[in-house]
Amino acid sequence: MTAQYTALWCYPWDLLDEGLDVSLGRIADAGLDAISLAVSYHAGMLLLPHNPKTRLRFLEDGSLYFRPAPGAFSGLAIQPRLSQLAEERDPLALIVEEAHKRGLAVVAWTICNHNSHQGTLHPELCMRTALGDPLTYALCPAQPAVQAYLRTLMHALGAYPLRAQQLESYGYGAFPHGHHHEKLLTPLGPLGERLMAICFCPACQQAAEKDGVDWRAPRDAVATTLERILRGEVDAPPSCLLGERLAAIEGLSAYLDVQRGIVEDLVVSLAGATPIPLNLLGIEDASIGPLKPHIAEVSEMAYRNDPLEVAAVSREAQRRLAGRIPLSIGLDLCPDSTPTADMLQTKLDAARASADAGVYVYNYGLMPLRSLDWLGKAIRGSSARAD
């Protein structure tokens, strides 16, 4: 997976609604090398500018867009929700076959712990704040039932001829989430938002105890700080001071080290569950060394409006990984952030200058066909300059 390539994030419904001859033909003609296809995805409402069947799609929350082998998840606490698209056919198998005919590799874009459907069914398996509230959109990676579900998901996807399995939300979820009709009218600031995203569920507590780390002191300190923020007694520090404020909370650094280890162990187990190489969407600096032997690639997002910021973020990602793991850069080239062909070309060139693996572009179904045309011209322009 080390030769530089360009891939396009895609949703199966867009490809199928247009017809695979049309959709995959357009993508191949634009000069893309691969698609990263959503195979497990979360809720959402999408505006689809060139879908011939619907311009608005309300997604089936937490669904799989492929057909696992019968009984694959038998006996697990978490049972998969299959999309309606997969009731009578296997979208992944069909799209992989047709993509390969056109010289397109397929990556399985897999949403892991971000699953409001499963979280609502299993609140006991979700992240839980220091104040005791479950985050039902975020399954906790420390929960054995969650780990078993994800391993089975990896194993099921391993049956397909894929270039990679690209894992999103494989760790702990963030706060806020952007939930349906979300209303956060009391400002939390960067500190409060980070503290709300620290899980103190029973599984995390048990993991800390196993490592000889106290979880009670940091939980109580985090809860106290959050209560003070909610009462308006703590001024929100700027983002640049967030690390200092977190480090000052009693016992929190050691507790967060435990959680980082939980995520690392989970990724290692997922890599062992599938013969397909893993591509992680994002990685913590401290996890690069431990995970290097187990993953094939890291994709870092450079979703910025300003091309100079795209270049800076891409260079920083290159510096962080320092060649230890092949790097891909993710770009949002939809017109809200990339409104001109020249800007798209500049962003693509900046990403390619830092990526030693590939560039992932967001998103086929969400961008007008004009943007896809610009992308094709930019790919050819970048290749010509490289030659």
* Higher pLDDT, residue 73 or 178: 73
CA angle 216, 217, 220 (to 5 degrees): 80
Q: What is the pLDDT of residues 123-153, one digit of tens each?
A: 999 999 999 999 999 999 999 999 999 999 9
Q: Is the pLDDT of residue 69 over 80?
A: yes
pLDDT in tens, 346-362: 999 999 999 999 999 99
Q: Domain ranges in the chain?
A: 5-182+263-386
The neighbouring-strand residues paired with 7 are 34, 360
- The whole-angstrom separation of Cα 110 and Cα 152 is 13
- Arithmetic mean of pLDDT, 95-116: 98
* DSSP H helical ranges for the chain: 12-18, 20-29, 91-101, 116-121, 144-157, 189-196, 202-210, 216-230, 242-247, 252-272, 288-291, 307-321, 341-354, 369-386
Q: Answer with the residue of higher pLDDT: 24 or 178.
A: 24
Residue 300, pLDDT > 50, answer yes
Residue-level pLDDT at 240 = 74
The mean pLDDT value for 241-267 works out to 94
Average model confidence (pLDDT) for the chain? 96
Average pLDDT of the segment spanning 255-281? 98
The mean pLDDT of 98-122, rounded to a whole number, is 98
pLDDT of residue 386 exceeding 80, the answer is: no
Tokens encoding 146: 């969650």
314 neighbors 302 (Cβ within 8 angstroms): yes
Contact 225, 249 (CB under 8 A): yes
Report residue 240 as tokens. Answer: 């640049």
The CA dihedral of 120, 282, 369, 342, to the nearest 10 degrees, is 150
pLDDT at 385 over 80: no
Residue 258 C-alpha from the chain's centroid: 22
One-letter identity of residue 39: V
Query: 5-182+263-386 belongs to which homologous superfamily?
Result: Glycosidases (3.20.20.80)
Instruction: Quickly state the pLDDT bin for 181 (edges 50, 70, 90).
Output: confident
2 falls in which pLDDT band (50, 70, 90)? very low
Task: Indicate if the pLDDT at residue 3 is higher than 70.
Answer: no
Query: Which of 168, 356, 150 is CA-nearest to residue 280?
Result: 168
Q: What angle do CA 237, 312, 363 make, to 5 degrees?
A: 95
Strand partners, 379: none
User: What DSSP string runs through 42-90?
Assistant: ---EEE-TT-SS-SEEE--TTEESS-PPTTTTTT-SS-PEEPGGGSSS-
Q: Which residues have a Cβ under 8 Å from the Cβ of 50 and sit 6 or more positions away?
A: 18, 365, 368, 369
- 374's CB contacts (< 8 A; 6+ apart) are 333, 341, 344, 345
Q: Residue 238 — pLDDT band, cuts 50, 70, 90?
A: confident
Mean pLDDT of 253-281: 98
